[in-house]
Amino acid sequence: MRIVIAGGHGQIALRLERLLSAGGHEVAGIIRKPEQGAALREAGAEPVVLDLESASVEMVAAVLQGADAAVFAAGAGPGSDAARKDTVDRGAAVLFADAAQRAGVRRYVVVSSMGADATHPGDEVFDAYLRAKGAADDEVRARTSLDWTILRPGALTNDAGTGLVRLEARTGRGPVPRDDVAAVLAELLDTPATAGLTLELIAGSTPLSVAVKDVAGN
């Protein structure tokens, strides 16, 4: 498959790029800064420099042309303010979905967040982040022309992945290594029957390939 990843220089995205390229897939990662390109090439991905906060839907659709799947893994990141949570975590996710539709890319996987909710209360930046992610998820789920899957990981860690997870519609809170998030994303991309599911992910006791098959009903 050809897979295009928004937020290609993120910690989860770089792990996913390595996994997908090692699996024989053609991978492109959208990045904001040219100097990030070396890390993507090292991960086996083609870097595409494009700022999703200022790009038009036509520009993004051009990058997605001919792709088999799109993964939204971008985020404003730590230290960003509430305004950028809206423009990146919500706005860029919606733009990427618009572009996928325009380019005819049906498979659309979103890296969201546990607790994402468009109506989440609170005035802190993290509250704004959860509202932005929730609103983006709602926008994506409303699109019948996308075979979407939304993954909501728990607290992300840099611990080595174990390959053992809990993946369900509701898991309750808990940590999960970024390694395992990336591996689950790769499995989801290979499992079209997970389309239409919103899933929470934390560390657990089930081998991740089995966990993905279970939620897909296989």
Catalytic residues: 129
DSSP state of 76: -
Whole-angstrom Cα distance, residue 218 to residue 215? 8
C-beta of residue 28 within 8 angstroms of C-beta of residue 2: yes
C-beta of residue 200 within 8 angstroms of C-beta of residue 170: yes
Alpha helices in the chain (DSSP H): 11-22, 37-42, 57-64, 82-84, 93-103, 125-141, 178-189, 208-216
Coil/strand/helix, residue 153: strand
Specify burial of residue 209 (Cβ count, 10 A radius: 0-12, 13-18, 19+).
Answer: middle
Angle between helices 125-141 and 93-103 (to 10 degrees): 20
Whole-angstrom Cα distance, residue 7 to residue 30? 6
